[in-house]
Structure 1
Amino acid sequence: MSVRVRRVHEPPDPDDGLRVLVDRLWPRGLAKDAARVDEWPKELTPSTELRRWYHAGEGSYEEFARRYEAELAAPAVREPLERARAWVREGPVTLLTAVRSPGQSHAAVLARLLER
C-alpha cells in the first residue's frame, strides 16, 4: 500500500498513481484540467464545523485529528472510506490538498487511516 500526501498546486508526478482531491472546496485559482484530479470524494473531507474550528485556532492538531477520525468513523462515511481503501489496495494513491502544510492537515490524518 502506498499513500502520499501532496499539495494540489504542485505539478503532477508520474508516481502519483490515482490523484484524489481531499478538500471540500475546489482550490482557488487552479484550473481543473491542470490539477489532473481523478477522484474528489467530498464525503471524506472534514465537516465545515470542524474545519472552521481548527482554522480559528481553537484547538491543537492532535485534537483536530482525533475529531476528524471520529467523523470518519460515522456510518455515513463507511462506503466512501471503503472505496478509498480499495483504491489503495489497487496501487499508489496521492491525496491532494491546497493547505500549506499537508503533513499537519486532514490529508495526513486520512492517509494514516487508509494505510492501516
Structure 2
Amino acid sequence: MSVCVRRVYDPPEPRDEVRVLVDRLWPRGLAKDAARVDEWPKALTPSTELRRWFHAGEGSYEEFAERYEAELAAGEAAEALEGLRELTRRGGVTLLTASKTPERSHASVLARLLGA
C-alpha cells in the first residue's frame, strides 16, 4: 500500500495507480482526459466554511488539520474516507490537488490518515 500526494496539474506518471482528485471543485484550465482522474469523492473535501476560514489566514495549518479531521470523522465524509482506505488496501493511491502547496493542504492530512 502506498499513498502519495501530487498536484493535479503534473502529468500522470507510470507509478500512479489509482488517481483520486480530493478537491471539491474541478481544477481550472485542466481537461478531464488530461488529468486522468479515476475517482473524485467530493465528500472527502473540507467544508466550504473550513476552506474559507483557512484561506482567509485566520488560523494555523495545524488547527486547520484538526478541524478537517473532525469533519472526516462523521457522516458522509467518514464513509468516503473508509472507501478511500479500501482503495489503499488494494494498491497504490495518488491523491491529487490543485493546491500550490500540497504538503500544507487537506491532501496531506488525508495521506497521513491513510498511513502514508
* TM norm structure 1: 0.97
Task: Note the aligned Cα RMSD (angstroms).
Answer: 1.0
The whole-number CA distance in structure 2 between the counterparts of 1:69 and 1:12 is 28
Give the structure-2-normalised TM-score.
0.97
Q: What is residue 69 of structure 1 aligned with on the other side?
A: 69
How many positions carry a matched residue from both structures? 116
Equivalent residue number for residue 110 of structure 1: 110
Structure 2 stretches of 5 or more lacking a match? none
Give ranges in structure 1 of 5+ residues lacking alignment: none
Query: Which residue of 1 is the match for residue 57 of structure 2?
Result: 57
Q: Which residues of 2 match residues 1-116 of structure 1 at below 5 A? A: 1-115=1-115
Match of 1:8, as an amino acid?
A: V
CA distance in 2, matches of 1:83, 1:75: 13
For each residue in 1:54-80, what CA deviation from the matched residue of structure 2 results, as whole angstroms up to 9, or x when unmatched?
A: 000000000000000000001332221
Which whole-Å CA distance do the structure 2 matches of 1:15 and 1:46 have between them?
27
